[in-house]
Amino acid sequence: MKRKIYGVIMAGGVGSRFWPRSREKSPKQLLKIVEGETMIQSTVSRIESLIPPEQIFVVTNKLQKNGVVKQLPNIPQENIIVEPLGRNTAPCIGLAALFAKRIDPTGVMVVLPADHIIHNVKEFHHVLKNGIEVAANSSALITIGISPTRPETGYGYIQFDDENSSANPFYKKNAFRVKTFAEKPTIEIANEFLRSGDFLWNSGMFIWRVDSILNEIQKSLPELYEQLLNIEESIGTSLFEKTLEEKYKIIRSISIDYGVMEKAKDVFVLAGKFGWNDVGSWEEVYQISPKNDDGNAITGNVISINSKNSYIYSQNKLIAAVGVENLIVIETNDSILICSRDKAQDVKEVVNYLKQKEMNDFL
């Protein structure tokens, strides 16, 4: 039996670590960070040869909907699902599953964040095809792990069991049973993970059948499942938006990893070696950007004199950097960020401060 394949793009995040370029109405996924396309455009482009646009759903929020619609003209507008409130990945995925269920309840969902960079698309497709085949022929939940290249402390990890072919029915598809999920580790533990050889970075990409994920949500998150049933009854009616808003006020915020994946019994991971980066901070952008002889990655109207190993982005004004090292400098119409590269993760604290002070013009 041939099952339909759905793409689900999670595109509701704000990208607070990318302030001041990333704002509530124009977040990271709607920006051109390092490629010719915006990040969400690249995400959709990567899967269009596997999944037709009419079977791709994008989950976003009210502030970002217009930007998503404008950037993705090939995606039917009815496939742009708007969450009234951010409730993390479990409700987002559950909501998308309801829309896919209306077309094919046993179809396969390929769930992807909107803000990843993948360099080897051919290998990425190979991994997706393996995962789709496993999901289509089982009730397994599949996640994609990334083979680690360094002891990274900014990612979660997945430990897998390298079973032989007789014990693992999906061995030939390079899918291995998950032993445990680990939170972001210390550098010491990250080094241990790397040495062990059986840990992968948690990419936040998933593949499963629609009925499989909804069944697991029912088991592990019965309160969420109950609200999803209420929402499902209203889809396609004039009551949908009102019902969605009412139920989302009740639904608690929880990730699919913590809420479902860590509790489910039939979970497998596929290792990805396709040049992945989740571009989680300006430091990540610096790492993957072309650099000059001084180690600087420069965009826009910038003069660099005796300055090294910095990321400098100018949207409008001339920036002159003299004798500085290891900085991130971002200039936009109304703001300038100056940050040490080793503190790039802390840029989100600027956004938190602006929210506390209700400085909404800068959000």
pLDDT at 15: 81
Check whether residue 129 and residue 225 sit in a common domain.
yes
Query: What pLDDT digit, counting tens, does each position of 299-324 carry?
Result: 999 999 999 999 999 999 999 999 99
Q: Which of 277, 300, 324 is the last residue of a domain?
A: 277
pLDDT at 297: 97
Question: Domain count of the chain?
Answer: 2
- 114 and 275 Cβ atoms separated by less than 8 Å: no
Mean pLDDT of 170-189: 91
pLDDT at 321: 97
Mean pLDDT (the chain, rounded): 94
- The sign of the torsion formed by the CA atoms of 155, 140, 91, 15 equals positive
Query: What pLDDT digit, counting tens, does each position of 41-59 carry?
Result: 999 999 999 999 999 999 9
Domain containing 336 equals 282-362
Check whether residue 137 and residue 60 sit in a common domain.
yes
Check whether residue 319 and residue 234 sit in a common domain.
no
* Ramachandran angles phi, psi of 331, nearest 5°: -115, 130
Q: Which of 220, 249, 277 is the last residue of a domain?
A: 277
Query: What pLDDT digit, counting tens, does each position of 65-124 carry?
Result: 999 999 999 999 999 999 999 999 999 999 999 999 999 999 999 999 999 999 999 999
Nearest to 14 by CA among 206, 311, 280: 280
Mean pLDDT of 5-15: 92
Tell whether pTM > 0.75.
yes
Residue 163 in this model has a pLDDT that exceeds 90: no
Separation of alpha carbons 37 and 40, rounded Å:
8
Give the position of tokens 């489910």.
264
Q: What is the CATH number of the domain that holds 115?
A: 3.90.550.10
Q: Which of 256, 277, 298 is the last residue of a domain?
A: 277
Check whether residue 23 and residue 135 sit in a common domain.
yes
Separation of alpha carbons 282 and 71, rounded Å:
23
Check whether residue 93 and residue 164 sit in a common domain.
yes
Check whether residue 157 and residue 258 sit in a common domain.
yes
Check whether residue 88 and residue 230 sit in a common domain.
yes
Check whether residue 124 and residue 261 sit in a common domain.
yes
